[in-house]
Structure 1
Amino acid sequence: MTLGRLVLAATPIGDVEDASLRLRRLLAEADVVAAEDTRRLHGLVARMGISIGGRVVSYHEHNESARAGELLDVVRGGGTVLVVTDAGMPTVSDPGFRVVAAAVEAGLPVTAAPGPSAVLTALALSGLPTDRFCFEGFPPRKAGEKARAFADLADERRTMVFFESPRRLAETLAAMAEGFGADRAAVVCRELTKTYEEVVRLPLAELAAWAEAREVLGEISIVVAGAPASVASVADVVGEVLTRADAGERLKEAVAEVAEAAGVGKRELYAAAIARRSRPPKA
């Protein structure tokens, strides 16, 4: 028997014209379309001007585990199951992970029809470094848990992307300013690809004040710059040089290696090590 496949398909995050030709074909050809919200799916296909060819079932956070087996039975029988969410890519802060994990465990084919992503769109528009980033999803709702989460991320060097509800935006930005620093660069992206798209780039404290002073509506992504690299001084690392020298390493070699690793001048570090060595011991 020929196996079918499980397909994760990205749907538009706003502008319906972002729907790919492949998504249109899959919606027409799939045996089963598993949708996070069936009403929203029918609204989307109506705007796209197409029809769904197969059976539509609901697949959301409350029935993911229970429905996964049913969907995989279709794949085992040779059918195509298309998984879509309200917007963007399934499994990214949306349903889909459990059925993918179950399919992988069962050795069933899984593929994706890539497309719009709020995470990547916000990151690209932010103007912040994109070479290394992490996605943190929705922050905790409770103030204490939120503060602890941001404290844990305070030294994260990568650009961070979050989602947030407009109702909690001002509170979350204020907590970020407290945890990451008032001057940390950040960006709020609202209603991406939609008619009233808005991208606001300010330090966190100013963003918090901006959000507090107005009614913010729509889908929200927050992009926060990573922690700046710590700059070591000669005084910070001279002790390491002397420790290595006392252990038998040549002073010049210790100075060269420590200076390169810390990004300080070799001459300055060597002079500081000699000066520290020449100090008379404390009485």
Structure 2
Amino acid sequence: MSLSTPEDGRLSPGLYIVATPIGNLSDLSPRAANILSRADAIAVEDSRVTARLLQHIGTKRPMIPYHDHNADRVRPGLIARMASEAIALVSDAGTPLISDPGFKLVRDARAAGHAVVTLPGPCAAIAALTLAGLPTDRFLFLGFLPAKAKARADAIAEVAAIRATLILYESGPRLAATLAALGDGLGNREAAVAREISKRFEECVTGTLSELAARYEDTPPKGEIVIVVAPPGEAPPVTETDADAMLREALTRLPAAKAANEVAKATGLQKRDLYARALEMKG
């Protein structure tokens, strides 16, 4: 949905979701700069960070802190103001709503009937994916994994079989432990560690999960970090012995036709051949 500009030059009331640079301030789009310089107020994660961005584009605007610790308290007031004012939403870096509480603001703004528009731009997860040299046709963003070892291992186990490149955020002090946990839960897949994206010392280091864990074990890096992990390799083909075992188990529960259908779906083998084999077993 687009928002028109009234004849007096003011922005139309509503919520403007504005992506901000993840490093180089010159990555801010002209459209984003225009909206930020004209918004009635800006909901910010950290006013000090946004103040530097506003200084870069030569403007000052009222800022309202909006983050994990105060979102529930501040949100109703922001929603009320959207009826007559243009409220911009930014995070410290990148696209709002990615690993922050912004989605609730969008949800409530829509429920209240306010206009909502997004100004797309930088996103660390997508930028890291482009640097990693890993498959991009399917990917899954995991945000930050849990800090505690058991919860982290459980979260990794949930996605181990998903045939997609995995993208997650991490801090320097936890990087090596997270890479090791990913290796334990996923196998020693190819991966990349991207940091300081679009900044002077941008780097993207590639290797296996075990190689990367060893690299950073004693030298945790600084800066914003994105881990990208390759999808699992192709599953080995189902052998005749495997298919027979699956059929025998299915036949304890199902008639031959349904057992053959179940195994065909699980293995990709021909249902006709499996049905004939199932009849032999029953005979």
Query: How far apart are 1:217 and its partner, in Å?
Result: 1.0
Query: Could you tell me which residue of structure 1 aligns to residue 199 of structure 2?
Result: 194
* SS in structure 2 of the partner of residue 144 of structure 1: helix
- The answer to whether the 8 Å contact 2:175/2:220 transfers is no
Tell me how far 1:123 sits from its aligned partner.
1.4
Secondary structure of the corresponding residue to residue 193 of structure 1: coil
Structure 2 equivalent of residue 91 of structure 1: 97
Cα shift readout 1:15-50 (whole Å, capped 9, x = no counterpart): 111100111101111111111111111112223x32
Per the alignment, residue 24 of structure 1 pairs with 33
Q: Is the CA contact 1:65–1:99 (under 8 Å) kept in the aligned structure 2?
A: no
| Structure 2 match to 1:57 | 64
- From 158, 161, 177, the counterpart of 1:155: 161
* Matched residue, 1:208: 213
> Equivalents in 2 of 1:260, 1:226: separation in Å?
22
Conservation of the 8 A alpha-carbon contact between 2:191 and 2:206: yes
- Counterparts of 2:13 and 2:51 in 1: how far apart (Å)? 24
Where does structure 2 lack aligned partners over 5 or more consecutive residues?
Answer: 1-5, 7-11
Aligned-partner SS, 1:70 = helix
Report the alpha carbon displacement of residue 73 of structure 1 after superposing the two structures with TM: 1.5
Q: Which residue of 1 aligns with 2:172?
A: 166
Alignment partner, residue 14 of structure 1 = 23
TM-score w.r.t. length of structure 2: 0.84
**Whole-angstrom distance in 1 between the partners of 2:98 and 2:176:** 24
Give the Å deviation of 1:258: 6.5
Q: Which amino acid aligns with 1:14?
A: G
How far off its partner does 1:107 sit?
Answer: 2.1
SS at match of 1:187: strand
The answer (yes or no) to whether the contact 2:20–2:122 under 8 Å persists in 1 is: yes
State the secondary structure of the residue aligned to 1:76.
coil
The aligned length equals 268
8 Å CA contact retained: 1:36, 1:95? no
Work out whether residues 176 and 217 of structure 2, in 8 Å CA contact, stay in contact via their aligned partners in 1.
Answer: yes
Within 2, Cα distance between the matches of 1:28 and 1:4? 15
1:33 aligns with 2:42: yes
Could you tell me how far 1:126 is from its partner in structure 2? 1.4
Flag the structure with larger Rg: 1
Distance 2:233 2:192 in 1: 17
Deviations 1:173-205 (A, max 9, x none): 111111111x21111111111111111111111
Q: Secondary structure at the match of 1:128?
A: coil
Q: Are the equivalent residues in 2 in contact too, given 1:187–1:223 (CA < 8 A)?
A: yes
Deviation at 1:206, TM superposition (A): 0.8
State the SS of the aligned residue for 1:216: coil
Query: CA contact under 8 A between 2:192 and 2:228: conserved in structure 1?
Result: yes
SS, match of residue 217 in structure 1: coil
Contact 2:176–2:220, Cα closer than 8 Å, also in 1: no
1:175 matches 2:184:
no
CA deviations on 1:228-258 (whole Å, 9 max, x unpaired) are 34232232224556878x9465xxxx69x97
Distance (Å, rounded) in 1 between the aligned partners of 2:96 and 2:204 = 24
TM-score between both structures, scaled by the size of structure 1: 0.84
Q: Match of 1:101, as an amino acid?
A: R
Contact 2:41 2:64 in 1 (8 A): yes
Classify 1:260/1:134 alpha carbon distance in 2 versus 1 (closer, same or farther; 3 Å): closer
Tell me the SS of whatever aligns to 1:167. Answer: coil
Residue 139 of structure 1, CA deviation: 0.7
How far 1:227 moved relative to its partner?
A: 2.4
Offset, 1:75: 1.0
Helix, strand or coil: the match of 1:45?
Answer: helix
Name stretches of at least 5 consecutive residues in structure 1 with no aligned partner: none
Counterpart of 1:217 in structure 2 is: 222
d(CA) in 1 for partners of 2:161, 2:131? 23
